[in-house]
Amino acid sequence: MGSTSEFSRRDLIKRAAALGLIAVPTMSALSACAAGGDDDDDKKTDSGGKGQKDAEMKPLNVDGSAPLDVVIFDGGFGQQYAKDAEAEYKKAYPKAEIKHSGTQDIGPQVQPRFNGGTPPDLIDNSGAKQMDLGTLVGLKQLTDLNALLDAPSLDDPKKKVRDTLRPGVVEMGQFDGEQVWVLYYAYTVYGIWYSKTNLQKLDEQYPQTWDDMLKVCEKAKKKGVAGWTYAGQHPYYLPFSLYPFIAKIGGADVLKRIDNLEPDSWKDPAVKAAFEAYYELYKKGYVLQGTPGLDHIQSQTAWNQGKALFIPNGSWVENESKKMTPADFQMAVGAPPSLDKSDKMPFGTLWASGGEPFIVPKSAKNPQGGMELLRVMLGKKSTQNFIKAVSSLTSLNGGTEGLSLPPGLASSQEALTKAGGNVVNPRLQDWYVTLQKEKIGKGALGEMMAGRLTPDETIKKIQKYVDDTRKDDSVKKYKHK
């Protein structure tokens, strides 16, 4: 006599299988992040004096036999420059074992190690999946890099590392107090990128006023070339030329108020004027057709192919699009054109700031080693190596002497010189990543440039995002000093 229960065996198995199927994906989503281990706080960061001579040789008190664990973001700059610097380190400390890893998934790779209390000694926390720096600082997970900044520089023992850096770099690494938690290694020039060759083909120069900009675009349009393109799927590239434009029109304080998330900071007339100007590019049909559907690589490619004249970007674009760029392209970067005579800042006002944030975790096994490697990287030799390899500047002031620079980099250098003291540095993208990239970028600016929002609607929408962020107590807030 067989058992005729309500469920047949097949039913039972089927149901179990179905439940298992449900369980697996939810599970992996749920349990991808489980905490473990303890943080051991405040241990290894003291740099006690061991005697004058020793200190000169090893200013950071590095244990030469300790292993060094380095994680590098393998993005636009690759990872070879770090490997080269590690080789230099190895020369100075032959006994040190160096463990190098390169990845594009910084967050998912490194975060569990923080959590488990065994983070690497030096991290290049960059790329789309970077860890939130504000949170790391807030949780006291990082080493104060002042020890490194006060150490003598590699090339000139009489100078401190601090004094060899470009202006603003140290401040960028500070959050609330005097401690410097982050050292930005690369130095990026943002702006409107173009090809001198393609402009010459139209008998034009880089436009210094917005009226000229519109004229150039009109001329190009008649020849079937678009004026502008941008990374439509990543509209947070638009601010690279738009924010300094706002600063130029209304003064650098407008950007500071925006960074500070002040109420009504986006309702400033300068913002509106800048938005109207950019919106006109769309309305007059100067934006390459289909741009809202392109990602950064696709838009850069279209630009390299001469389908569009201008693209808002950062100085990494030269290295990133190297393979697509025609030999006679003559890449160059331009500062935002003047809107009219009442602009608060002169033509040449530029956004330039540190890129590639390097951090040394607090509970690293060998934090001195991590800082020492940074010191090596900030030496002239490694800097020149970086400049040559990836055509970007580093935070070391200078370092370009005697090098023949590729056109884009040479133009960045020129633009920096021209800007002089008029360099702005909006911090929104470091302090409030989601607000900048997703909300302002994809939710508002991208929509405006695709013609789906008017400038007024855009401002209203952004202001609401900003107000929401200000009220959101799960987001740590920062202010300009």
Residues 124 and 115: beta-carbon distance below 8 Å:
no
Among 75, 244, 292, 314, binds other proteins (CB under 8 A): 292
Q: Looking at beta carbons only, is 195 or 391 nearer to other proteins?
A: 195
Q: Looking at beta carbons only, is 191 or 443 nearer to other proteins?
A: 443
What is each CA distance from 182 to 143, 152, 365, 371, 374, in whole angstroms?
9, 18, 18, 11, 11
Residues 422 and 350: beta-carbon distance below 8 Å:
yes
Among 220, 433, 440, 466, binds other proteins (CB under 8 A): 433
d(CA 272, CA 269): 5
CB of 19 to other proteins, least distance (A): 7
Q: Which of 126, 86, 69, 70 is nearest to 354 (CA)?
A: 126
Q: Looking at beta carbons only, is 126 or 330 nearer to other proteins?
A: 126
Among 283, 452, 477, 479, binds other proteins (CB under 8 A): 452
* DSSP-derived secondary structure letter, 235: G
CB of 445 to other proteins, least distance (A): 11
CB of 26 to other proteins, least distance (A): 5
d(CA 241, CA 227): 15
Element holding 102 (H helix, E strand): strand 98-103
CB of 105 to other proteins, least distance (A): 9
Among 291, 338, 391, 412, binds other proteins (CB under 8 A): 291
Specify the pairing of strand 98-103 against strand 122-124: unpaired
Q: Looking at beta carbons only, is 5 or 417 nearer to other proteins?
A: 5
Among 442, 460, 470, 480, binds other proteins (CB under 8 A): 442
Residue 12 binds to other proteins (criterion: CB under 8 A): no
CB atoms under 10 Å from CB of 417, counted, come to 9
d(CA 382, CA 82): 9
Q: What burial class does residue 283 get, using C-beta atoms within 10 Å of its C-beta: 0-12 exposed, 13-18 middle, 19+ buried? A: exposed
Site for other proteins in 134-173 (CB under 8 A): 134-136, 139, 141
Provide DSSP, 96-141.
--EEEEEES-HHHHHHHHHHHT---SEEE--STT---HHHHHHTT-
Contact stretch for other proteins (CB under 8 A) within 106-114, 148-156, 278-286, 328-336: 106-114
Q: Looking at beta carbons only, is 57 or 139 nearer to other proteins?
A: 139
Among 4, 52, 342, 474, binds other proteins (CB under 8 A): 474
Residue 324 binds to other proteins (criterion: CB under 8 A): no
CB of 449 to other proteins, least distance (A): 10
CB of 447 to other proteins, least distance (A): 5
102 has which bridge partners?
72
Among 7, 12, 13, 19, binds other proteins (CB under 8 A): 19
Q: For the window 22-51, what string marks contact with other proteins as x by the rule CB under 8 A?
A: xx-xxx-xxxxxxxxxxx------------
Where are the alpha helices (H) located in 118-268, listed in sequence order?
Answer: 133-138, 146-150, 169-172, 196-201, 210-222, 239-250, 252-259
Contact stretch for other proteins (CB under 8 A) within 130-138, 366-374, 386-394, 420-428: 130-138
CB of 385 to other proteins, least distance (A): 31
Number of residues that bind other proteins (CB under 8 A): 66
Q: Looking at beta carbons only, is 58 or 113 nearer to other proteins?
A: 113
Q: Looking at beta carbons only, is 250 or 367 nearer to other proteins?
A: 367
Residues 318 and 413: beta-carbon distance below 8 Å:
no
Question: Which one-letter amino acid corresponds to residue 11?
Answer: D
Question: Which one-letter amino acid corresponds to residue 122?
Answer: L
Residue 132 binds to other proteins (criterion: CB under 8 A): yes
d(CA 358, CA 355): 9
CB of 455 to other proteins, least distance (A): 16
Alpha-carbon Rg for the chain, nearest whole angstrom, is 25
d(CA 141, CA 129): 18
Q: With DSSP H G I counted as helix, E B as strand and the rest as coil, what are the percentages for the chain, rounded to 5?
A: 45, 15, 40
Question: Which one-letter amino acid corresponds to residue 38?
Answer: D
Residues 445 and 231: beta-carbon distance below 8 Å:
no
Among 65, 200, 205, 434, binds other proteins (CB under 8 A): 434
Q: Looking at beta carbons only, is 4 or 417 nearer to other proteins?
A: 4
d(CA 99, CA 382): 19
Residues 393 and 400: beta-carbon distance below 8 Å:
yes
CB of 173 to other proteins, least distance (A): 18
Footprint of other proteins (CB under 8 A): 3, 8, 14-15, 17-19, 21-23, 25-27, 29-39, 107-108, 111, 114-117, 128-132, 134-136, 139, 141, 232-234, 288-295, 298, 302, 307, 433-434, 438, 442-443, 446-447, 450, 452, 474-475
